[in-house]
Structure 1
Amino acid sequence: MWNEYRTTKFQIYDMILTHLRPRATLTDGAPDCEGARAQCSRARSQMAQLSEEICCSVPYILGLLTQERRDSPKPAVRNSCGAFVLLWPLMVAAIAQHYPSPTSEFVFNCFDFISRGMGIQQATAF
């Protein structure tokens, strides 16, 4: 659920950047040029933060963390439903950074794990 919120927020920031870029690239000293540049910078920063938050959610959603309860000695079962839900947010996280970056490398490793380790071949489409 939170990753859906993050991807929606990411898309809103992307639309903001699309509309502000023409103003931010003006060089004739327009009064709103500096404000547009500052807003673009904030939007890119927020997009990077959202991307990082999506990546941090991966172990929890995939069920890769061990359970801390004493009555259950097994680690949590891998969650294939979670893998399907992660495909779009991970793709969004990958495009937030210029390739190669640690984030994009992490995302591509996640896609590899989801496709090979969990058998969900849609992950190879990204």
Structure 2
Amino acid sequence: MIRRLSQEAAKYRPNKDDAIVDRLSSVTIPLGDLCAAIKEGTISCPSEIVRYALDLDAQFQSIMSDIPASMGYKTVNVALAQGVPTIGTVWGSQYHTYRDITVSSIWNNYRSSRLVLLDLIVKAVGAMNTHFPGNTKDEHHQLLRQCQQISRQLVGGICASVPFHLGFMVDDSHVDKISGPTTIKDSDADNYRASKSPHLSSRSPFGVPAAGGFALMWPLLIAADSGYASKELRSWIIDCLDKIGHSMGINQALAMAQLVREGESTRAWLSPKYSSPNRDGQDGGSWNEAEAL
């Protein structure tokens, strides 16, 4: 029903920005169907899961490659001291700014959806019990490496959206213009670079914009549970969720923070057969997913 209504609504949207939302919905709904089928055991063959997931992932990439320039984002560099950001609200050396919360939410929904898809692929390939011929095994290792690399970039993109979502403004009066718009690339090498480092100032030192907090919770939880977040990053995400929860009174954000704090997996889209290994022993980095082979 939702799928049919979304398809019907798309016919009456003259604005290309709105059309992007409809196109993404047309892929996220089948993604939900795939996760449900795996959870229920309707689809259990690893090669079939990989095939479905790769097809959906290609559709996501195709949609975002056609995104209007107005829905891109800008990348801003921050100063580092001994390799550590000098601004606590930023993870890493960069953060993103967007036209509005709607655009940033579209990007994070895209990133979160792809993280789920790539996780399905990694786990399904790892669950394959057959002995591959040499060439086939090499191809699967290459696929795993690609999934891992992209997943790290997607996690980085979600984290880079946090300052914008939590209402921190850029004070760039003392620097050159912020870097130009970025569209589909999340890696540092593909982002434009600012010539100087800006300062961040909060619109409200005690509050979080409601829309920004609501839109950020699930992407942060998926990023923390993706298997590509170090202990330090997970701790930073916990702080972000706590801030959202305490500032807005959203108990769900506090519950999410507690799940991450306790190391509980929230990968409800996976059946026990494809669940992740215990994180015990994980030390400041992601486990090597390719070891499943």
Aligned length: 121
How do 1:8-19 and structure 2 match up within 5 A? 8-19=113-124
Q: Which residue of 2 aligns with 1:91?
A: 221
Structure 2: how far apart are the matches of 1:100 and 1:12? 20
CA deviation after TM superposition for structure 1 residue 95, in Å:
1.1
CA deviation after TM superposition for structure 1 residue 121, in Å:
1.6
TM-score normalised by the chain length of structure 2: 0.37
Give the counterpart of 1:55 among 150, 159, 168. Answer: 159
- Residue 123 (1) aligns with residue 123 (2): no
Structure 2: how far apart are the matches of 1:44 and 1:113? 29
Cα gap change, 1:75 to 1:88, in 2 (>3 Å): closer
Structure 2 runs not aligned, ≥5 long: 1-105, 174-200, 257-293
Structure 2: how far apart are the matches of 1:113 and 1:30? 50
Cα gap change, 1:75 to 1:18, in 2 (>3 Å): closer
Q: Which has the higher helix share?
A: 1
Structure 1: how far apart are the matches of 2:130 and 2:239? 39
CA deviation after TM superposition for structure 1 residue 6, in Å:
0.6
CA deviation after TM superposition for structure 1 residue 21, in Å:
1.5
**Any idea what the Cα deviations from partners look like across 1:40-98, whole Å, max 9, x if unmatched?**
111011111101110110110121225669xxxx9535311210111110001101236
Q: Which has the higher strand share?
A: 2
**Any idea what the Cα deviations from partners look like across 1:8-47, whole Å, max 9, x if unmatched?**
1111211221222135x76675431121012111101111
Structure 2: how far apart are the matches of 1:9 and 1:99? 16
**RMSD value, Cα:** 2.5
Structure 2: how far apart are the matches of 1:89 and 1:102? 17
Structure whose CA Rg is larger: 2
Structure 1: how far apart are the matches of 2:231 and 2:130? 29
Structure 2: how far apart are the matches of 1:10 and 1:120? 25
TM-score normalised by the chain length of structure 1: 0.79
How do 1:1-126 and structure 2 match up within 5 A? 1-23=106-128, 30-66=134-170, 75-77=202-204, 78-97=208-227, 100-126=230-256
The residue identity in structure 2 corresponding to 1:52 is G
The percent of aligned pairs where both chains have the same amino acid is 26
Contact 2:242/2:253 (8 A) holds in 1 = yes
Contact 1:67/1:75 (8 A) holds in 2 = no
Give the 3-state SS of the residue equivalent to 2:135 in structure 1: coil
Contact 1:115/1:121 (8 A) holds in 2 = yes
Q: Which residue of 1 aligns with 2:176?
A: none
